[in-house]
Chain A
Amino acid sequence: MPDIGKLEQLGRRNLLKSGAVVSVGLAAAPVGAFAQAAPVKIGHIDSTTGNFAVLGDSQIKGAQLAAKELNAKGGILGRPVQVLVEDDAGLPATAIDKAGRLLNQEKVDFFSGSTSSAVSLAVSKFAEQNSKLYMCTGGHVDKLTGSACNWATFRVCSTTWILTDGDSKILVDKFGKKWYFLTTDYAFGHSEQADYTKQVTALGGTILGGALVPVGTTDFSSYLIQAKAAGPDVLCLLLAGDDQINAMKQITQFGINQSVAVGGALFELEQIAALPEQARYGVWTFEWYWNQPGVPHVADFVQRYNTAYPGLYPSQRSWFGYVSVHAIALGCKKANSTDSVKVAKALEGLVLPPEIALQPGAPVFRPEDHQLMLGMFPGSVNQQGVYPHLMNIFDYVPGASIAQPPSQTGCTLSYPA
């Protein structure tokens, strides 16, 4: 009996020893080292519920695909990348709450995300106060890289100025000079309307009026009565998320789009897909499109996205998310550090390589305001198209050619001493 006891003991010890050997061996192997290195954590704050849930979801998918691809190629500086997603429900207060949690509990290295402009402004402020770099994925308000800019904030998606300038001339030339706005009543809409007003007036147009529509409005009938009474050439829709879908449906039901041209800045693949055929129309500025024949790497990216998310095509939101994570990685690589200040300095003037830019131009993060000079794809909705063939792209307009010059954005950057 005691023999057996001894044997057992030996067995256990041997087991422990061999276990130790195995784990040391694993640690020595490069894969194991990678898996055990402390991950580089990106806190991605975005909408998975609320008015922007569908758009936020695409941004998250793009970001996660980028992380997966980075990890397959050695991550960031030999450390794995982790994208930690938190839901902001489209609300700045919730976003700040979640940002605090990501920072204190998860000790994230960087922030990314946001679909709502209001959220992006809040997160930007939070990131600056806590000295963490924030790669804004999808909040468009001018101010973020304008009067409210800061050293910690970079932005992948366009400003509302770039967005509106992408098609303002096309809309005026094609449809007319008398404009009426239906504008979502928060930072994003206000910013868009101010930009269009400047651009259209400069082109000799007149603004007949406009209505500010609260976020989450479902019934647009009373606004549409006002709009129609004004008799505009162009009914400019500056709404976001599900609101825009509801408005476009009712415009069709009332037959308004038969006598008035409808267009605006932002209209997205996800939104068009959610509309019945008769409610798909208008001229808009798209920020990215999956179908760019002849542009290298794009088809390959679409295929990888398809494989990762069967049945889905990348939208501009997917691209924003994808670029956000890759841009952080590029910054880290150039700085050879994950320190936010160093990475921010490295990102200034960084040009996106073609396999990440995925467009004819080579967008650069402008050093003066940290805004990515991405190109615009003005176009119209392909009414009879079947998903994902929902857009007719007219043109590609390089971002730098239409962005406000740095002297006019009102941005001055200063780094912490």
Chain B
Amino acid sequence: MLLDVIFNAFNGLIVGSFYALMAIGLSLILGLNGVINFAHGGFMALAAYFAFTLVPYVGFWGALIIAPLLAGAVGYAVEQLIIRRLYLRDPLYSLLATFGLALIMQDLMRTIWGAQGLPLAIPDFLNQPVSEVYFFVTGYRIFVVALAILSTGALFAVLRYTRLGVRIRAGNADLETIAALGVNIYLLRSANFVLGIMFAGLAGILAAGQLGLTPTMGDSLIMPSFVAIVVGGVGSLLGSLLGGLIIGVASGITTAFYPAASEVVIYLIMGVMLIVRPRGLFGQEGLFE
């Protein structure tokens, strides 16, 4: 039983780091753009379908780089055409707009690639367990965890040490002031939105490698990322990472004792967090308070 719990906790860390990777993009966009991007799952799926289409030409690794860029380009268009017009309005407008967008994207993907699930081939050497005992640790999952850590680290460095990053953080803190200081906040928000979408794309491709592609794949992936953000705190990347890990491990350990509750437990944690500390672990004060 103890081994069982340890296995499940360990497995939860792997799952959680994937949740975190998905949550980062969402968190970025929520922070600076002030948009609860319901279409995030749609962008995940879109990038995954781009990757599926590209794999025969550029291989898995090429697709892993190019497809998020393409999704980012679509994200740029969406920001220019739809999101940008809603910044000055109540957040409810952008929430509804992105919700509608999510449905449209889903149907577009169904029309283009079909409702039938499609497999995304990943390199063979990643597709097997690394040891007999820890059978649930596959090369692919290690790769996903490594990428989650790496990209969070890279993003953290960008935000900390580059001019763009400093501006994004400053904008998070006080958008009006940096606008008054001469920063083009529209450009800044576009760049930030695109960055967020590219993270969504990366997460989507990685998810497809394990689960395959369906037009609705984003739906089931996006809920845990929302929960991770709420638990970790809006606007905090470290918080999103930690939030993802916490719900991953909690869900894993619950499976060891009572599998039917493994889904519910993450919402329970979110509920408790919202009551005890509405801003989340590392969130800014005021966003949800």
Contact = CB atoms under 8 A, between A and B. Distances in A.
A69 interface: no
A225 B212 contact: no
Contact of A212 (B4, B119, B259): B259
A296 interface: no
Nearest to B10: A225
B4 A214 contact: no
A222 B8 contact: yes
A49 B216 contact: yes
Given A226-B256, A245-B212, A246-B212, A254 B119 contact: no
B263 A253 contact: no
A226 B259 contact: yes
A221 interface: yes
Contacts of B216: 49-51, 53, 242
Nearest to B135: A254
B183 to A, nearest CB: 40
Given A50-B216, A211-B255, A275-B119, A221 B11 contact: yes
Contacts of A275: 117, 119, 212
Interface residues of B, number: 41
Contact of A274 (B14, B15, B110, B116): B116
Contacts of A274: 116-119, 212
A219 interface: yes
Given A218-B211, A246-B211, A249-B210, A273 B14 contact: no
A269 B105 CA distance: 27
B140 interface: yes
B128 A253 contact: yes
Nearest to B115: A53
B212 A226 contact: no
A250 B210 CA distance: 7
Contacts of A225: 4, 7-8, 11, 136, 255-256
Interface string B11-48: 11011000000000000000000000000000000000
Interface residues of A, number: 41
Contacts of B214: 242
A276 B55 CA distance: 15
B15 A221 contact: yes
Contact of B115 (A54, A185, A214, A224): A54
B119 A57 contact: no
A259 to B, nearest CB: 9
B119 A222 contact: no
Interface string B212-247: 101011011100000000000000000000000000
B138 interface: yes
Interface string B114-137: 011111010000011100000110
Contacts of A271: 117
Contacts of B117: 54, 242, 245, 271, 274-275
B135 A228 contact: yes
Given A249-B211, A253-B210, A254-B138, A223 B255 contact: yes
B262 interface: yes
B260 interface: yes
Contact of A211 (B106, B140, B212, B259): B259
Contacts of B121: 276
Contacts of B220: 216-218
Nearest to A212: B260
A253 B128 CA distance: 5
Q: Which has the most chain B C-beta neighbours within 10 Å: A219, A228, A271? A: A219
B78 to A, nearest CB: 22
Given A254-B129, A274-B119, A213 B211 contact: no
B201 interface: no
B208 to A, nearest CB: 11
B15 to A, nearest CB: 5
A26 B272 CA distance: 72
A260 to B, nearest CB: 11
Contacts of B217: 218
Interface in A42-62: 48-51, 53-54, 57
Contacts of A224: 136
A274 B251 CA distance: 28
A256 interface: yes
A253 B119 CA distance: 13
Interface string B152-163: 000000000000
Contacts of B280: none
A219 B11 CA distance: 11
Interface in A261-281: 270-271, 273-276, 278-279
B203 to A, nearest CB: 12
Nearest to A222: B255
A255 interface: yes
Top 7 closest pairs, chain A to chain B, by CB: A274-B117, A222-B255, A211-B259, A276-B119, A53-B115, A214-B263, A212-B260
Given A255-B129, A274-B117, 8 more contacts: A53-B115, A211-B260, A222-B262, A225-B8, A226-B256, A229-B3, A253-B127, A253-B128
27 contacts: A48-B115, A53-B115, A57-B115, A211-B255, A211-B260, A212-B260, A217-B263, A219-B15, A221-B11, A221-B136, A222-B11, A222-B12, A225-B7, A226-B255, A226-B259, A228-B135, A229-B7, A249-B212, A250-B210, A253-B127, A253-B210, A254-B138, A256-B135, A273-B116, A275-B117, A276-B212, A279-B119
Interface of B: 3-4, 7-8, 11-12, 14-15, 106, 110, 115-119, 121, 127-129, 135-136, 138, 140, 207, 210-212, 214, 216-217, 219-221, 251-252, 255-256, 259-260, 262-263
